[in-house]
Amino acid sequence: MPGIVLAERGAGADITEMERGSWLFPDGANRDRMLELDRELRPVRAAVIGLLVASLLVSGPWLGWWTLAPVLGAIAVFRLADERMDTMERPEWALFGAWVTSEVIMAAAVAVSGGPLVPTTAWLAIPVLTLGARFSDRGIALGVGLAIACLVGVELGVNTAAVVANPPLLVAPAALILCVAMFQTVLMRSEIRLRGEVVIDPLTGLLNRRALERRVEELEQQSKLTRQQVGLIAADIDHFKRFNDEYGHQAGDALLVDVAYALRKSLRAFDFGYRTGGEEFLVVLPGAKLEDAAQLAETLRDAVASVETDDRRVTMSCGVAASRDGAAFEFERVFEQADAALYEAKAAGRNRVRPQVGAAAPRAA
């Protein structure tokens, strides 16, 4: 995997909180993919906003320069949401809130520039383009409803007489919003399905090495600016080869599924888990100090120990490391520390958590 070198013995567990849902994601299953797609949409979103600003600058003498203010407000809202999402338990609400704000701000820009009589009315369809890439059917329905409500409010609120005299002023942009939503939803559902086949481990449902590579690159870039600490938990199932040899690969696969489920239930929405090989997992914790990562590792170890396997005891060892406070995150360095700590945990008898070399051991829960 280019840019990321994981030891063959490695460590790692990828898991995300797929089981804990919210109103926007009832089963939680697509939350990770939503975040992944949103990160890829950010450069495109920036380019679109730049294009809108340029068009408003060109149109300023006719529409008025004040129309720039709402667009600049939308930029500030999305920037705030991007900064907060990685540390929120329900990041989809931050994203949806930013989306709602952008639609309302777009409606305000249309209203101050003339309402139903200006070409910018069609701009209300632009945010709808991203609904299918980010949200469940509930979120899409709510977003489309809001877009239509904004359109009706702007047109009737600014110039009711013009709409009554010429109904297509309202009907045409409303139809555009609905058509965009329908086509984009179908296209993005197909994209999500294909993407899932690429970045999701088919056995456990966890993210894979390819997804890890993308996430690491983003965290390293962010860390250069924010200096936010990032923790890693390298983990693997103790004596998994022996288990496979004794009970067979089918039982081994079933064990991996059960362990992944136990881990997944213990992680928060902003913790990122990956299956990096065989019985090896890696958990990536943005914003976590060493003590926080070690505490979570103990929780994960306990969760695996509770897995029921017909009286066959299952345990997991964990190595924990974190980037230095105030220093940029370097994945390879922090991973090497976590992997070395995992080796120490196994050498000390397995079924335990070890922090990076030189740090104090965490207290067991």
Residue 42 and residue 126 share a domain: yes
Residue 48 and residue 165 share a domain: yes
Residue 77 and residue 122 share a domain: yes
pLDDT in tens, 94-142: 788 888 888 888 888 788 778 888 888 888 888 888 787 677 778 888 9
- Residues 201, 264: Cα–Cα separation, whole Å: 14
Would you say residue 263 lies in a domain? yes
Would you say residue 365 lies in a domain? no
Residue 157 and residue 109 share a domain: yes
Residue 349 has which token pair?
Answer: 């008898």
Would you say residue 251 lies in a domain? yes
Instruction: Choose the most confident range, by mean pLDDT, from 5-9, 53-57, 125-129, 320-324.
Output: 320-324
Catalytic sites, residue numbers: 279
- Point out the domain boundary residue: 150, 174, 199: 199
Would you say residue 20 lies in a domain? no
How many residues comprise the chain? Answer: 365
pLDDT in tens, 143-184: 999 999 999 999 999 999 999 999 999 999 999 999 998 887
Residue 284 and residue 175 share a domain: no
pLDDT of residue 86: 63
Residue 270 and residue 185 share a domain: no
pLDDT of residue 296: 95
pLDDT of residue 360: 44
Task: Tell me if the pTM is above 0.85.
Answer: no
From residue 127, give the alpha-carbon distance in Å to each of 53, 122, 201, 228, 276. 15, 11, 32, 30, 36
- Point out the domain boundary residue: 137, 164, 199: 199
Residue 236 and residue 89 share a domain: no
β-bridge pairing 230-237 and 272-277: unpaired
pLDDT of residue 169: 93
Residue 178 and residue 50 share a domain: yes
What is the CA 71 to chain-centroid distance, rounded? 25
The residue segments making up the domain with residue 306 are: 209-355
- Residues 224, 227: Cα–Cα separation, whole Å: 6
- Point out the domain boundary residue: 156, 180, 199: 199
pLDDT of residue 7: 42
pLDDT in tens, 229-266: 999 999 999 999 999 888 889 999 999 999 999 998 88
Residue 236 and residue 328 share a domain: yes
pLDDT in tens, 282-307: 999 998 999 999 999 999 999 999 88
350: CATH: 3.30.70.270
CB atoms within 10 A of CB 287: 13
Residue 349 and residue 292 share a domain: yes
pLDDT of residue 192: 63
Please count the structural domains in the chain.
2
Q: Of residues 343 and 8, which shows the higher confidence score?
A: 343
pLDDT in tens, 192-201: 665 555 788 8
Would you say residue 17 lies in a domain? no
Residue 182 and residue 43 share a domain: yes
Residue 117 and residue 216 share a domain: no
Would you say residue 24 lies in a domain? no
pLDDT of residue 27: 52
Would you say residue 148 lies in a domain? yes
Q: Is 122 exposed, middle or buried (0-12, 13-18, 19+ CB in 10 A)?
A: middle
Is residue 317 scored above 90 in pLDDT?
yes
